[in-house]
Structure 1
């Protein structure tokens, strides 16, 4: 069976006949899909890097309007192929065509591509600074090298290496992207790459602005991560793989941005539970079970204080989990990994309170699981009780009192989010004020009276946090233009002649739109003569 080609240097290049290959599966049925994809060789990795370097050097000097035109043409192409793409992705991931793919994720993907286009055209991500007294001018600029983007299994569009947020940010800042397709949805990634390649011709940017491969050996992947031809890395995936990539990048000082493990703690304070314990249990259950729990912001760790209202909450939540069906997961290993995590937590002292129905249909299906543990037991081994259960699983920590809950909070690891439910009458305010300084510092996004599962594509959104939840506490994977700044190199021009300055640092505002910090004031005006 002939393997699908890789997109290298603007051409669909077939792998050698003796190349290693793999086949994806249909998670809903458990059956192998007929298509075969190659594992990239060392020579092919080198070709990707060479072409990406050349294209990035060209893009760094390309008019931002052409880059914006590419992103917009690509978004138009995806929108036009929505039905085809959603059907293909559903086959590869088991995610429903409607509403998840057609109504939610594909429009989100095209929306963030268009937002990135607008940011590229405006140029505000560069944050130009001009000091006329000292004749110093600085701004963020492209790295001049390609960005490797590795997407996750759970978002075949919005976080895909060839179409998602990291891709959009890297392109908008003038970088070619070498995209690694996730093995769970390679066909979807290939079709996206075909649409993107057509958009390069429409916009007149280099064809190697986008390249795609499907898999490599671990050795080749680590070599690529440390190669001097690569400018930066954006990775969303498992903590184990991310740590290895980080080690390779850190060894050579390469910027790398990650989204890895996160249990996303949610504190249900006593007054909130007194007001509506059963309703909050239903709200939590819906969030945890959404998409079979395969969201990076899935609420996996709940913090409570013992009491009758907490027991009401737990009884309702356990009933919801017991009644929940075993949903489809994205790859074959995930249901077993969830089971292993549940067994490990029970062995460590947690109590299993709710377990979804046994799967009776084919495919990769996982039983939802709700567990509880006392605050004292949690404090005996905090790391063990913060193992990530990727999927529809959560652990409730029931502290004896506020002091024990604060002690639990002190031992929390980093997460993408931290959520608090508190009483409307203010009775929880003192405890909230005590806990927030402890917990919020360990997360990128603080929520009140709201589940963390949704991630809006907004300039104010932060989707990141301290490592290993994110790659760096100062950066976000969602939220334009902030997400673009991850891929910028800060450069200073000291006494450089006016004609040699980049357009955005010259006295005249190049487009009348970009905001520049001129002698301490943010303005869209020209430098005063």
Structure 2
């Protein structure tokens, strides 16, 4: 018997499934748990119809009830932490302690609660009032469903039924159709059960949250190209995201996709002189954390000329050579990594350490460090900055400061770029040359720390220029900005006060921050400040 899908506000058997699959234990390469359906067009059509049916009413839901759901869901996840952590650890091989229990699960509940706070404060609505022109505007629900595709590498914090895309879409009062990732179906099912119960407890429409475990590519692409959707949130491979975006673009559905990133790290000469051995350890730890299966993994490290860079390379090579093979999420991840490394070598890179699949059971790969000189990198920048998803990184060796700047200018869009500078200021002139070339190419510019961590902060930008994401103007982490992806800009011209949305009326009893005639105010329209 196959697991049931959450469609139309209830758990039921899949209709006309196109097969089934089971989760795998990556450490043993063995199937575990029950069978889960690969949903066909019947389930997709039913989920879309249910979401469309509830969308208008959900858009009118009082914010307090949306916030109650988000808070209640966060509390339910915390209360069920033992079950969730055990499921996710078995399905992903990520360590239960501290990664899942003490890092990712609190991040997930924190995101949900931050979304709830943004809902209560109307922070995502960005109200603007122009009394002279008689115009008022704000961010409002799309009035249509949001389709969310979850990735393999964050079973909680980016899960289609619990992560930032989910929390953001719900905060903006849009129904969500979640397409879980097949790498962790039992974890997703348990989260969906908790979400459904919290939704009912908050007296919200049960159809507002639905989940399918898996669909084949043709069905998923067809759904993405349905113009009745309001938006799509996607985290995953570049090829998969671009295929969905191409279908959505045909019908004008906005797609907010996180696609790929190598997150270049520049180690400047003074920083290496001050702390080169410690930086080699820090780099190795960051690169192999979570088996390198992070979107912010430091995939390329650019080194200046000089003996300090030679010493760093030798120390980093020693760490990588001594590192044990790391478990990967799936056979597909392992095969893609092997192919990516072969492509880097074909483009001119040399393997310094590792380079092969791991021994023993399961899906594993050796920590792998490669090297290429700057001339070769600049001759084939596209091939040599292709993402290798796993515990791998490429050192780019420059001979001059001019090459350092040229390499910075050759990068395509990334989520992050990092520069390590000396604390005595001796690297500041080089920073002034390199940083501007990186600034237009990344969402987050970092000084003196590895890019792996992503704080859930209103000031975070977890986004960047293409191909890091499909839209450089938005972030998938950090409230309220992440919520605004799933909104529409509504303007009201000469509409009577009592017919306006509450946050645009003259009275402001809740003290919402609004821009009134060009000035921020938490008072009523016409009140003296």
TM-score with structure 1 setting the length: 0.98
2:139 is paired with a residue whose SS is strand
> Deviations along 1:169-225, whole A, 9 cap, x unmatched?
000010111001100001110110000110011111100111000111222111111
Once the two structures are TM-superposed, the CA of residue 34 in structure 1 deviates from its matched residue by: 3.5
Describe the shift of the 1:388–1:18 C-alpha distance in structure 2 as closer, same or farther (beyond 3 A).
closer
Describe the shift of the 1:510–1:161 C-alpha distance in structure 2 as closer, same or farther (beyond 3 A).
farther
1:43 is paired with a residue whose SS is helix
Describe the shift of the 1:510–1:248 C-alpha distance in structure 2 as closer, same or farther (beyond 3 A).
farther
> Deviations along 1:359-412, whole A, 9 cap, x unmatched?
333111111110110001111111110010100000011011011111111111
Greater alpha carbon shift after TM alignment, 503-512 vs 145-154: 503-512
For the 8 Å contact 1:27–1:330, the answer to whether it is kept is: yes
> Deviations along 1:90-125, whole A, 9 cap, x unmatched?
111111111111111111111110110111111121
> Deviations along 1:311-364, whole A, 9 cap, x unmatched?
100000000000111111111122222222222222222111111786333111
> Deviations along 1:219-262, whole A, 9 cap, x unmatched?
21111112122110000000000010111111111111011110
What's 2:508 paired with? 509
What's 2:516 paired with? 518
2:331 is paired with a residue whose SS is coil
RMSD: 1.2
For the 8 Å contact 1:420–1:449, the answer to whether it is kept is: yes
Q: Distance in 2 between matches of 1:346 and 1:508?
A: 65
1:528 partnered with 2:518? no
Once the two structures are TM-superposed, the CA of residue 276 in structure 1 deviates from its matched residue by: 1.6
Counterparts of residues 281-430 of structure 1 (less than 5 Å): 281-355=280-354, 359-430=358-429
Describe the shift of the 1:22–1:510 C-alpha distance in structure 2 as closer, same or farther (beyond 3 A).
farther
Q: Distance in 2 between matches of 1:494 and 1:16?
A: 47
Q: Distance in 1 between matches of 2:378 and 2:17?
A: 54
Q: Distance in 2 between matches of 1:360 and 1:371?
A: 20
TM-score with structure 2 setting the length: 0.98
Counterparts of residues 4-23 of structure 1 (less than 5 Å): 4-16=3-15, 19-23=18-22
What's 1:120 paired with? 119
1:335 is paired with a residue whose SS is helix
Counterparts of residues 86-165 of structure 1 (less than 5 Å): 86-165=85-164
Counterparts of residues 479-494 of structure 1 (less than 5 Å): 479-494=478-493
1:299 is paired with a residue whose SS is coil
What's 1:475 paired with? 474
1:124 is paired with a residue whose SS is coil
Once the two structures are TM-superposed, the CA of residue 18 in structure 1 deviates from its matched residue by: 6.2
2:308 is paired with a residue whose SS is helix
Q: Distance in 1 between matches of 2:455 and 2:19?
A: 39
What's 1:446 paired with? 445
What's 1:216 paired with? 215
> Deviations along 1:420-462, whole A, 9 cap, x unmatched?
0011121111111011111111000010001000001111111
Greater alpha carbon shift after TM alignment, 323-332 vs 153-162: 323-332
For the 8 Å contact 2:124–2:481, the answer to whether it is kept is: yes
Q: Distance in 1 between matches of 2:114 and 2:339?
A: 41
- Structure 2, unaligned runs of 5 or more: none
